Each structure stands twice: as C-alpha cells, then as structure tokens.
Copies of this chain bind each other. A is one copy, B any other.
Amino acid sequence: MRSPIPDYLAEALRSVQADHSGATADYIPELAHADPDRLAAALCTVDGHIYSAGDAAAEFSIQSISKPFVYALALADRGFDAVLEKVNVEPSGNAFNEMSVEPDTGRPLNPMINAGAIAMHSLVGPPGATPEQRVDRVADGLSAFAGRRLHVDEAVSRSEMSHAYRNRALANMLRAYDIIADDPLVAVAGYTRQCSLLVTAEDLAVMAGTLANRGVNPLTGRPVVSAAVVRQTLSVMATCGMYDGAGDWMTRVGVPAKSGVAGGLIGALPGQAGIATFSPRLDRHGNSVRGVNLFTRFTADMGMHVMEVPPHAPSVIRSRRVLGEGDREVTLVSLQGDLRFAAAERVVREFQEHPPQQHRVAISLRRVFSVDAVARRMVLEAVRRLSLDGHEVYLLDPDEVLPDPDPGTGGRVRVLTRLADLLGG
C-alpha cells in the first residue's frame, strides 16, 4: 500500500502553485535572485518519520526561523531569569525590523523581533563565551535540532553583512542600553552567520518536530533542550512568531509558528509532528505567501489548531462490575483512554459518589495508555483514601502505565498483571 500522505502533500503543493503573488526579499541579491518558483512541504512525526513533497531537498538560508531555536538554546544555557532580564515575551504589534524595545530599559519586547534575536544570540553558550564560541554553539545547537550538520552560506552571510545597517542600528542601541555587552558589529556578524545557516524544508520539519517532541530530536533520539524550554519557546512562537499578524495567525491557523525571509515557514504540532514549507515569495508582512496558504489548509485538514477543543471522548470509566464471591468479592472499575486531569477527576468522583460496598477494590488500567503527572497523583490519592476507608486496593496494570505506585502515608496498593490473579486464590 502506498501512503496517502505524500499524495496529500503533493496535492496541497499543486493547489497553491498557481499563486505567484508576493515577491522575494529584495534587500540582498542572493535572496532577490532566488528561484521564486521553488516550492516544498515536509512533515516530521514525533517518532521520526519524514514525509515531503516538492523541492524538499533544496537548501536556503534559515533566516528568522533560527530565532525560536536560538531562544531555546539561550534558555537552556542561561536559564529563564537571565534570558527574561534581557528580552521580554510580549507581542509587539510592530513590523519585524522596528526598534520594539521597552522605552526605559531598552529591553526588546520579544525574541522573535530582530532586536530580541540579536540579544538572544549573545546569550547562548556559557557566560564569558567568545563570539566564535557563540557562533559555534548556535551552529551546533541548530544542527542538533536538525539532526545533521548545518553549514553557513558564506555568500549570503557576506552579502547580508554588507547590508545589515538596520541590524547594526539595533545592536548599537542594545549596546547603549547594556542589553548586550559585545561590540555591536561583532554581535551582528554572529547573528548574520546564524541567519545564513543553510537548511532544507526537511531539516526545518525535523527542527519543528524536535519542539513537537518535547525537545528530543525525533530522528536521532537525542535530547536537545528540556520540555520546560520547549513550552516557553512554543508559547512565544504562538504569540509573537508571525510578526504583526500574531492574532490573525492564532485564530486562523492556531499553531506555534515562525517564518523567514528566504521563504521558509515552520509549525509545531505539539506531541504530533513538525511541519515546514518553503516558497520564496513573501507577503507584505514578510511571510511566505504560499507557505501561509499551505498552513491554513493544513490546519483545516489535519485539525492542528491548538484551541480546537477535542471532541468528547467516551467516559474514562469503561465499566464497573462486582466479580468473585464471598471473601474474594471485588469491585472492579475498568478505565480506558489517556488519563489527564479531567479523566482522573472522573475516576475520583466515581469512588466518592458510589463508595464500593466490597472490601476489595480493583482499578483496571489495561485499556489506559498514558497517565500524566496530575492524573497519577490523583489516582494514587484516591487509592490512599480508599485504603484509609479500610479497603484493600489493587491496580490491574499489565503495561505498567502507572509504574512504582506509592499512594503515600496510610495508603497501600498491590499491582497485578492479570485479572485471574485477582480472582484466583
């Protein structure tokens, strides 16, 4: 059987191919003269499978798409407080090249605008890192996100550097406010190399997939940044990633995203996949025209919107039965599905509203596939309270979805793997 997903991607590309609106970025010849017709889409699942269509192996400079990843590296290297002290997380409502800094402190409003991104570049690596070490850390870190060694396009880097008057203005302003400590020209040079790293649509899909996979690269299996860093990064992408159209993007597409002037665009579907598109013509916001259209289509087709309320799942309580006889009588409550807060609450409520009449109480987790931290705490607390009420409590958990269950003071639980163990002697 041939997978329908490549067909879907190819069909999606065909549907936007006729749109020649927008224009390539014109501030350097290397971007202005890029082939405007190149078009690609790629998707990387959290278990590391890549689908792609179009010019998915064509290399282009990563540009602003580097920003969320370097933000994540800075958070990882310096911690949240040190990073927040230098760059805030508020949407700017402004165009991408403006000097959106807080009036008194000079702190950039967020790390997705150039001022914030230049400041972030200066915060990667250990305190005291040299400019070269920082550039290396960025290249290494972004390569870790991509799962392969990325290289700088020296021609793009040189050309950008010779036109980088706006970024030099920003870096000097940041230096004046002591947001960065480097020589401004050196800071811009490092940031320019960062933006000139060459990627393909597939690379970007893997990078976004690493964010979707709690910071673990789905191809290499190597952790790049922590889940807490990913959460912060995705939050900032959600509110600040699409320049001055943050609200429009959040309502219409609803995926944490970032675009770059070379035509790249990424979105991270938390827990599911990273997605990337590539098409060099940009709209007036600086976002890829076809890329935005593709994402709008993806969100409709794939149900990616983070504010989409999931349809009502069947009750977590699959059944409640009394089995066995006499001393071996047992109330068996069978659960199903993924246990997060709401499901765990329902389980707790079951025991509260209908206290078991039997001395022995068993909770079956055979049809439960995941239990998050809060649900785990709540289920164990229910076990503890049942114990305190005098019940003998069993967990039927053949797949160890609730490993090492410790219900805490006064609680006691026995783990079984087979129903027969419960009913047998």
The docked-state distance in angstroms from the alpha carbon of A134 to that of B168 is: 24
Minimum C-beta distance from A303 to chain B (A): 5
Instruction: Collect the chain B residues with CB atoms within 8 Å of residue A271's CB.
Output: 309-310, 312-313, 342
The docked-state distance in angstroms from the alpha carbon of A273 to that of B344 is: 12
Segment touching B, from A87-95, A276-284, A322-330:
A87-95
Instruction: Collect the chain B residues with CB atoms within 8 Å of residue A385's CB.
Output: 1-2, 4
**A49 interfacial by beta-carbon distance below 8 Å:** yes
Instruction: Collect the chain B residues with CB atoms within 8 Å of residue A109's CB.
Output: 93
**A311 interfacial by beta-carbon distance below 8 Å:** yes
Q: How many A residues face the partner with a CB closer than 8 A?
A: 99
**A143 interfacial by beta-carbon distance below 8 Å:** no
**A81 interfacial by beta-carbon distance below 8 Å:** no
A247 touches B304 (CB 8 A): no
A1 touches B91 (CB 8 A): no
B93 touches A342 (CB 8 A): no
Instruction: Collect the chain B residues with CB atoms within 8 Å of residue A85's CB.
Output: none
B169 touches A45 (CB 8 A): no
Instruction: Collect the chain B residues with CB atoms within 8 Å of residue A234's CB.
Output: 307, 309
Minimum C-beta distance from A169 to chain B (A): 4
From known contacts A176-B169, A385-B1, infer whether A307 and B90 are also in contact, taking CB-CB under 8 Å.
no
The docked-state distance in angstroms from the alpha carbon of A213 to that of B342 is: 12
Minimum C-beta distance from A109 to chain B (A): 8
Residues 224-262 (chain A) with a chain B CB within 8 angstroms: 227, 230-232, 234-236, 238-240, 244-248, 250-251, 254, 256
B338 touches A337 (CB 8 A): yes
Taken residue by residue from 4 to 23, chain A's Cβ proximity to chain B (1 for < 8 Å, 0 otherwise) reads as: 11000000000000000000
Segment touching B, from A33-41, A151-159, A199-207, A347-355:
A347-355
The docked-state distance in angstroms from the alpha carbon of A367 to that of B318 is: 11
**A219 interfacial by beta-carbon distance below 8 Å:** no
**A370 interfacial by beta-carbon distance below 8 Å:** yes
B251 touches A236 (CB 8 A): yes
**A287 interfacial by beta-carbon distance below 8 Å:** no
Q: Which of B170, B246, B372 contacts A311 (CB 8 A)?
A: B372
CB closest residue in chain B, given A244: B90
B247 touches A369 (CB 8 A): no
Minimum C-beta distance from A157 to chain B (A): 18
A214 touches B369 (CB 8 A): no
The docked-state distance in angstroms from the alpha carbon of A90 to that of B39 is: 29
Q: Which of B4, B184, B211, B374 contacts A382 (CB 8 A)?
A: B4
Instruction: Collect the chain B residues with CB atoms within 8 Å of residue A306's CB.
Output: 306-307
Q: Which 7 A-B pairs have the closest CB atoms?
A: A272-B342, A169-B172, A165-B176, A90-B247, A89-B247, A168-B172, A169-B173
14 contacts between A and B (CB under 8 A): A3-B352, A88-B247, A90-B244, A90-B246, A91-B93, A93-B93, A169-B173, A211-B309, A213-B312, A234-B309, A235-B251, A238-B250, A310-B338, A310-B372
Interface residues of A (CB under 8 A from B): 1-5, 45-47, 49, 88-93, 99, 109-110, 165-166, 168-173, 175-176, 184, 211-214, 227, 230-232, 234-236, 238-240, 244-248, 250-251, 254, 256, 269-273, 301-315, 336-338, 340-342, 345-346, 348-349, 351-352, 355, 367, 369-370, 372-374, 378, 381-382, 385-386, 389, 399, 401
